[in-house]
Amino acid sequence: MSTTRSTAAGKVLEVLSVFGRENPSQTLSEIAQRTGLALSTTHRVVAELAGWGALERGEDGSWHVGLRLWEIASGCPRTQILRDVALPFMQDLYEATHENVQLAVREGTELVFVERIAGHRSVELLTMVGTRFPVGSTGMGRVLLAHAPLEIQEEVLESPLRAWTPHTVTDPKTLRTQLDRIRREQVFVSDRQLSESTVAVAAPVRIGRTGPVEAALGIVITARSADRTRGLREPLLRAVYGISDELGRRTRTTA
């Protein structure tokens, strides 16, 4: 038994950790099975979480994440300021392109999508707000990986890389060369790396025009329109520069 699971807080975290995009709604038995907790313990923890509002029960008797938990998560300082600053520029970028516009940050060796604008005619995506992917698996992730600390880069490059499509770059030497190019160039085009139906154009968002990389902004289009990527470079950079400048200004103001 892990020391985390043996504490009351650990049991709460175990229960919450089983919910996600792939498992948004689960029965009490499923929660117990996935956590390895006794059914009686699971029932007690779930009841406490429901009483506080972290979990809610559906009409079919299954459980899902409650509104109270979302309210707390939405106030995360790391993403709240970033999203507030980025959203107007993302809206302008969407109006200029009418394509999916996404914002993501890195957490360890993973990529987390924190904001998205998509039209009803935009290509369907595997990604959505709140989802995580290995940082090396997407165009935006590789932009973040290229500017990550060296130890993070080496951890990713030394680990097996999943081939999401036949086009996914999984060879560490090739990926290392790609990361070098990303650092030299402003914009990176990711060709069918995560999905055979999509191409992404991504660029780093900094704190100030030349400051540290805070996030990545990307446009995702259908692979059939891959010849449009060159024309997306200018509007993407305009948005990235605008967000970076505003983040830098706010940092100087609060310093």
pLDDT at 77: 61
Extract the tokens encoding 87: 């959203």
Q: 79-107 burial by CB neighbour count: b if 16+ within 10 A, else e?
A: bebbbebbeebbeebbebbebbbbbbbbe
Cβ atoms within 10 Å of 161's Cβ, excluding its own: 17
Domain 8-72: which CATH class?
mainly alpha
Can you tell me the distance from the alpha carbon of 179 to that of 187, in angstroms, rounded to the nearest whole number? 12
pLDDT at 8: 81
**The pTM is what?**
0.73
Per-domain residue ranges for the chain? 8-72, 77-254
pLDDT at 142: 94
pLDDT at 251: 79
Q: 114-143 burial by CB neighbour count: b if 16+ within 10 A, else e?
A: bbbbbeeebbebebeeebebbbbbbbbbbb
Kindly report the length of the chain.
255
pLDDT at 56: 87
CATH classification number, 77-254, choose in 3.20.20.70, 3.40.50.2020, 3.30.450.40, 3.65.10.10: 3.30.450.40
77-254: same fold as 8-72? no
Q: Could you read off the pLDDT tens digit of each residue along the chain, which spans 255 residues?
A: 444 456 888 888 888 888 876 678 888 988 998 888 989 899 899 888 888 888 888 888 888 888 777 767 666 666 788 999 999 999 999 999 988 999 999 999 999 888 988 876 665 666 677 788 899 888 999 999 999 999 999 999 999 988 888 888 889 999 999 999 999 998 999 888 878 888 899 999 999 988 999 999 999 888 877 788 888 999 999 999 999 999 998 877 665
The backbone region for 203, taken as left when phi is positive above 0, alpha when psi lies in -120 to 50, beta otherwise, is: beta
* Helix locations, 1-128, DSSP H: 8-17, 28-35, 39-52, 67-73, 77-97
